[in-house]
Amino acid sequence: MFISFEGIEGSGKSTQIKLLREFLNQEGLSPVVIREPGGTQIGEKVRDIFLTKTDEHFDPLTEVLLLYSSRKQLDTNVIKPALKDGKIVIADRFADATVAYQAYGKNVSKDFIAQLHSDLEISNPDLTFFIDISPELSKARISDRESDRMESESTEFFSKVRSGYQACANNSEKVITIEGTDTIENIFLKIKEAVTKKLNVSME
Ligand code: TMP
C-alpha cells in the first residue's frame, strides 16, 4: 500500500508521518518512509539543486523536469520494489505536490504534468492525506526556520498552491482532506482510522 502526505509548509506532515511510522512499526508492518524531492542518492542531489536559492531565473518547467527525474529514480529504485515486496510506503509529498506547486502555483500546464507522469509509468498512491492550513498560518509556523528557495515564496503563491491541493482532493476519492488546525492527536486518529480501514480492505 502506498500512502502520501501533502500540504503546504508547516502543515504538520512530518509529525503525522512520524506517528504513523511508529504505529505501523508497533503493528509489525515496518513501513518504508520516503521524501520528495529526494529519497535516493541522485534524488537528494536533485533536492539540493531544487531547494537552493539562486539569482538565476528558475524556469517552472525546469522545476517539473527536476522533480520528475527525482521521482522516476525514487519510483524505480525504492517505491516499486517495496510495493512488490508487499511493504507499506509512506511518502512525504508526491505527485499532487507538482500539480499544486508547479501547475497551480507557477502556471505549468496540468496536461503536460499528467502526460509526463503517465509516460514515465510512475506509481500512484492508494491513499493521500492532504493536511490543510491557511497560507497565513503556514507563514507563522515556519517563521523561525531559515527559509529555502520554495519557503521564500509569497503568501499569494501559497494560496494558489492550497487551491491546487483542494482541486486534487475534489478530483479524487483517494485524497482525504484533514483540517490542519485540529490537535495532533485528533489528526492522527483520523489518519489511523483511514489507514486501518484501507489495510483491512486490502487484506480481505
Ligand atoms: P520539504 O520536503 O521540506 O517540504 O521541501 C520540499 C519543497 O519542494 C516544498 O517547498 C514543496 C516543494 N515541492 C514542489 O514544489 N513540487 C513537488 O512536486 C514536490 C514534491 C515538492
Q: How confident is the model over 30-70, as pLDDT tens digits? A: 999 999 999 999 999 999 999 999 999 999 999 999 999 99
Candidate from 8, 11, 35, 36 with most ligand 1 atoms within 8 A of CB, to mutate: 36
Banded model confidence at residue 23, pLDDT cuts 50, 70, 90: very high
Establish whether residue 132 lines the binding site of ligand 1, counting it when its CB lies within 6 angstroms of any ligand atom: no
Would you say 13 and 90 are in contact if contact means Cβ atoms under 8 Å apart? no
Establish whether residue 6 lines the binding site of ligand 1, counting it when its CB lies within 6 angstroms of any ligand atom: no
Candidate from 47, 73, 75, 93 with most ligand 1 atoms within 8 A of CB, to mutate: 93
Q: How confident is the model over 142-161, as pLDDT tens digits? A: 999 899 999 999 999 999 99
Amino acid at residue number 125:
P
Q: Which of 160, 125, 191, 162 is nearest to 10 (CA)?
A: 162
If you average pLDDT over every residue of the chain, what do you get? 97
Q: How confident is the model over 90-118, as pLDDT tens digits? A: 999 999 999 999 999 999 999 999 999 99
Residue 85 sits in which domain range? 2-203
Establish whether residue 97 lines the binding site of ligand 1, counting it when its CB lies within 6 angstroms of any ligand atom: yes
pLDDT at 65: 98
pLDDT at 145: 87
Q: How many domains does the chain have?
A: 1
User: Cell triple for residue 25?
Assistant: 512499526
Residue owning the nearest CA to atom 15 of ligand 1 = 101
pTM of the model: 0.97
Would you say 131 and 180 are in contact if contact means Cβ atoms under 8 Å apart? yes
Domain of 9, CATH number, reads 3.40.50.300
Banded model confidence at residue 201, pLDDT cuts 50, 70, 90: confident
Establish whether residue 93 lines the binding site of ligand 1, counting it when its CB lies within 6 angstroms of any ligand atom: yes
For the chain, the distance separating the N- and C-terminal CA atoms, rounded to the nearest angstrom, is 14
